[in-house]
Every structure is written in C-alpha cells, then in structure tokens.
Structure 1
Amino acid sequence: MAGIVNYISESYNELKNHVTWPSYAEAQKLTVIVLVFSVIFSLLIFGVDKVFSSLIEQYFNWVKS
C-alpha cells in the first residue's frame, strides 16, 4: 500500500513542479486543431467505408446473378 501512496505522491509532485503547462489561449488553439483533425479524419474514414461497402455490395450482387 505504501508503494501506491508513494507513486501518487511522486506523480503529483512531478505534475506540479516539473511539467510546463500551456497557456489558456494555446490550449484553446490546440483543442481546435485536434477537433478539426478529428472531424476530417472521421469524414475520411466514413467515405472509405461507404466506398468499400458499395464495392462489396456490387460484388455480391454480381456473384448472385
């Protein structure tokens, strides 16, 4: 149990004293960049999924004929 308490204490100390946190403005800017990238990536995955779904559906319709 002492190991867990020591780990938490050292982690807290590390976050408080040794981590350089971004400013609020920089955090907002980076958040917007992540959101835009996430939307673009999800739309890309959606498009690829639709294309492959259509191709597989056409293949099975061709095989049934």
Structure 2
Amino acid sequence: MLTYIKESVEELRNNVTLPSRAESSNLMVVVAVFSILFALATWGVDTVFSKVVQLYFDYVLN
C-alpha cells in the first residue's frame, strides 16, 4: 500500500499538468451551461411524465 501511494505521488508530480486559469474558467462555464440544460431537460421530462400519470389516473378513476 505504501508503494502504491509513493508511486501515485510521483506520477502526480511528474506526469500531471494542470490547465491554465483561462482554460479552467472556460471549462467551468461549459460545465455550468450543460448542467443547467440537463436540469431543465430533467424538469421538463418530469413535468410531462407527471401530467401523463395524472391524466391516466383521472381517466381510470372516473
């Protein structure tokens, strides 16, 4: 386990590069936009499904 941790730290130091601040900001905006779009799509599907279920049960009960 100790060897694994040492090798992981060594790999992080030697092989991992962080993006620039500007690139990170751009990526953050992309993630935020897609998160909002996904949330709106989920809300829309939920609303439609809720209405369909409500209409079904109104039809079955009446």
Question: Aligned residue pairs: how many?
Answer: 62
Distance 2:47 2:27 in 1: 30
In structure 2, the partner of 1:58 is: 55
SS at match of 2:39: helix
Distance 1:24 1:11 in 2: 24
- Structure-2-length-normalised TM-score: 0.92
Shift of 1:24: 1.1
Distance 1:43 1:28 in 2: 23
Matched residues, percent identical? 48
Question: Residue 23 of structure 1: which of 20, 23, 26 is its match?
Answer: 20
Aligned-CA RMSD value = 0.9
The answer to whether the aligner puts 1:6 opposite 2:11 as a matched pair is: no
5+ long unaligned stretches in structure 1: none
- Structure-1-length-normalised TM-score: 0.88
